[in-house]
Structure 1
Amino acid sequence: MRRSFYLCLGFICLLLGLIGVILPLLPTTPFIILAAFCFSRSSKKFHEMLLNHRLFGSMIREWEAYGVIPLKVKCLSSSMMIIMISYPVLFKELAWWIDAIMIVTALIGLVYVWSKPSRVLSKSPS
């Protein structure tokens, strides 16, 4: 039962990640990483497929091994977060608390993304 749950959740996350490639509102990277996590718990075949994927494979391997978010991904995700909340906050008449929720959510996302290393830190020879 648990394996089936993770398999279904993996496919849902993979689908959302692929939609995120086209729609700027959905972030691709977190959904693909979550799909890889779900597949690692449910299907070795699909997990290996993502690990060997030409676009996503290296990102997933670096995340799984070292918790790395590449600088390019950090910059893109940060830009998208800022752009996506800027329009409604600046140009829409929303309640102040809705603006506050959007800003706090984006700040939490930005802090999390930028708290992760951008590349694998290798040991320096002593």
Structure 2
Amino acid sequence: MIIKRGLFLCIGLLSLFLGLLGIVLPVLPTVPFILLAAFCFARSSQRLYDWLHQHPWFADGLKNWEEQRALRPGLKRRAMLVSLASFSLSIIVVPLFWVKVLLLICCCCLMLYLWRLPVINE
């Protein structure tokens, strides 16, 4: 049991770190990593779980996701626009063709994922 909690804690901390990196790095999506961190913290650390749910950046989105399995339309739109802008800039800047193709594929996969997420009817 302790090993399982420790594993969830490590995965949660890694996911939180990657999610925070995803705020500034275009290749890492923030939302899935924060959701994974919340899932892992719920099984390993009540203190970190509560902190994540009280954090001003993540609290509303996590609450909406846990209660309705959906995002607010504005958050979804913003996530898509920022991701698209970040990937576009990266594709323009990167000199290697195969990296451009890989970034384009990642961008398309992320856009499809975000597009398919349900929205909250306000």
Looking at structure 2, the residues matched to 14 and 92 of structure 1 have their Cα atoms a distance apart, in angstroms, of 27
Within a 5 Å distance, the mapping from 1:3-14 to structure 2 comes to 3-14=5-16
Looking at structure 1, the residues matched to 61 and 88 of structure 2 have their Cα atoms a distance apart, in angstroms, of 28
Contact 2:94 2:100 in 1 (8 A): no
Q: What percent of counterpart residues are identical? A: 30
Residue of structure 2 in register with 1:113 after alignment: 114
Normalized against structure 1, the TM-score is what?
0.75
Normalized against structure 2, the TM-score is what?
0.77
Residue of structure 2 in register with 1:54 after alignment: 56
The residue type equivalent to 1:65 in the other structure is: E
- Relative distance call for 1:120 and 1:51 in structure 2 (3 A) is farther
Residue of structure 2 in register with 1:36 after alignment: 38
How far residue 106 of structure 1 moved from its aligned partner, in angstroms, is 0.8
Structure 2: 5+ residue stretches without partners: none
Residue of structure 1 in register with 2:65 after alignment: 63
Contact 1:17 1:28 in 2 (8 A): yes
Contact 1:66 1:120 in 2 (8 A): no
How far residue 120 of structure 1 moved from its aligned partner, in angstroms, is 5.2
How far residue 35 of structure 1 moved from its aligned partner, in angstroms, is 1.1
Contact 2:71 2:119 in 1 (8 A): yes
How far residue 66 of structure 1 moved from its aligned partner, in angstroms, is 2.2
Q: CA RMSD in A?
A: 2.4
Secondary structure at 2:43 match in 1: helix
Larger radius of gyration, structure 1 or 2?
1
How far residue 4 of structure 1 moved from its aligned partner, in angstroms, is 0.1
- Relative distance call for 1:45 and 1:106 in structure 2 (3 A) is same
